Chain A
Amino acid sequence: MSKKDKEPLFSAKNRKLLLGPLSASNPVVVQILGICSALAVTAKLQPAFVMAISVTVVTAFSNLIMSLLRNSIPSRIRIIVQLVVIAFLVILVDQVLKAYVYDVSKQLSVFVGLIITNCIIMGRVEAFALGNKPWPAFLDGVGNGAGYGLILIIVAIFRELLGAGTLWGYQVIPASFYDAGYSNNGLMLLPPMALIIVGIIIWVHRSWKKDLQEK
């Protein structure tokens, strides 16, 4: 595809599509999309990581497929076509997770299914894939999935480290700390703290990028 475009595979424009969502147009902290199902999986790093990969795969391929189909779908029925494509990809992801990482799939429970209604995916398909060529659409999907995953992983690192003293299930905070009177903050493992951490990430991010501040 890209050869026909006579555009290098990673031209400056395409690089921007891929890297922009990591910070300047991050889907979670800037566009406020896709918080729905995600934060509940960030109490530990491993499920958060698996979730991030799953969402990236679904976003990238739904963008790719919808971009390939964009000229043959009547716009009246596009929502239902999008839902079918996304649901199909999510079922694939769900079956793969059940087959290879069953423990994590159990922990994620209903949240894998909720990728279907993740606003990032519908949002990117509507806003980008329907008006662009497949390769940029694919990169946009990967970029947005990664931007979402980045926030998920940052939140999960804070919550697991402070809440349980572990990372990826391994003990990180040494036992001597506990002997000296340190104790885990159990509050971090509870759902509301995920929201507060995201709020703080938004605070830090917007103090750094002042043009994103709301009036």
Chain B
Amino acid sequence: MESLNIFIKSIFIDNMVFAYFFGMCSYIAVSKSVKTAMGLGLAVIFVMTITVPLNWLLNEYVLKGGALSWISPEMANVDLSFLSFIIFIAVIASFVQLVEMVVEKFAPGLYNQLGIFLPLIAVNCAIMGGSLFMQERDFTNLGQAASYGLGSGIGWWLAIIMMAAIREKVTYSQIPAPLKGAGITFIITGLMGIAFMTFLGIQL
């Protein structure tokens, strides 16, 4: 039940794009057409669903203060949490590299669709942000971390798909020249963010 609650909340209320602006760079750059947005969105869902629980395990059994006590009781005072940034980013970067190699080898069709987006994901703030929020929110078990990862990924996917759909229509409307492209995208995202705030307070 708790996991389901986290899942719903991370999609709608704590939406990666509208509430925290995570992954805005690729969000703005790739949302020009629904097709490419779909590719990147699915890749983000996939990578987040795996890396957030993976980093949760690392945080729980290696990084947190006293987490090393499973090796020997003397290690209970060791606090490695200052290393978490570098460990998280290393996990994400190497996982992305791994996925890229596996997909290239076994599913060349999918690789051609996703190919160019995979390297982009290593520096997508949403992925790193997911892991850092996971650490800050102190989830109590792996299931919660996994549902948070999945939910945040879906939230990001939802946002970029909607944005791409709107942008495909916006190209046909008359916009003041200085606002074309990036400017109007920011404003639309802001308005969508306000719309998403109506989900505030949903509790399962």
A residues adjacent to B (C-beta < 8 A) = 29, 32-40, 79-80, 83-84, 87-88, 90-91, 94-95, 109-110, 113-114, 116-119, 122, 190-196, 198-200, 202-207, 210, 213-215
Contacts and interface: CB of A to CB of B under 8 A. Distances in A.
B118 interface: no
B181 interface: yes
Interface centre among A34, A35, A95, A210 (most CB of B within 10 A): A35
A81 to B, nearest CB: 11
B86 A195 contact: no
Nearest to A112: B85
Interface string B82-103: 1111101110011000000000
Contact of A202 (B24, B182, B192): B182
B132 A199 contact: no
Given A213-B177, A214-B182, A94 B85 contact: yes
B125 A203 contact: no
Interface in B122-169: 122-125, 127-129, 132-133, 135-136
B89 A117 contact: yes
B21 A40 contact: yes
Say which size band chain B's interface belongs to.
35 or more
A135 B151 CA distance: 44
B197 A116 contact: no
A110 B21 CA distance: 13
Contacts of A87: 85-86, 89-90
20 contacts: A32-B182, A38-B21, A40-B20, A40-B21, A84-B86, A94-B85, A110-B129, A116-B89, A117-B123, A119-B125, A192-B192, A192-B194, A196-B186, A196-B187, A198-B186, A199-B179, A199-B186, A200-B187, A202-B183, A205-B178
Given A83-B90, A191-B20, A122 B197 contact: no
Contacts of B187: 195-196, 199-200
B129 A114 contact: yes
Given A87-B86, A110-B132, A192 B193 contact: yes
Contacts of B84: 113
A202 B191 contact: no
A196 B182 contact: no
Given A192-B197, A194-B21, A199-B186, A114 B123 contact: no
B204 interface: no
A32 B28 CA distance: 8
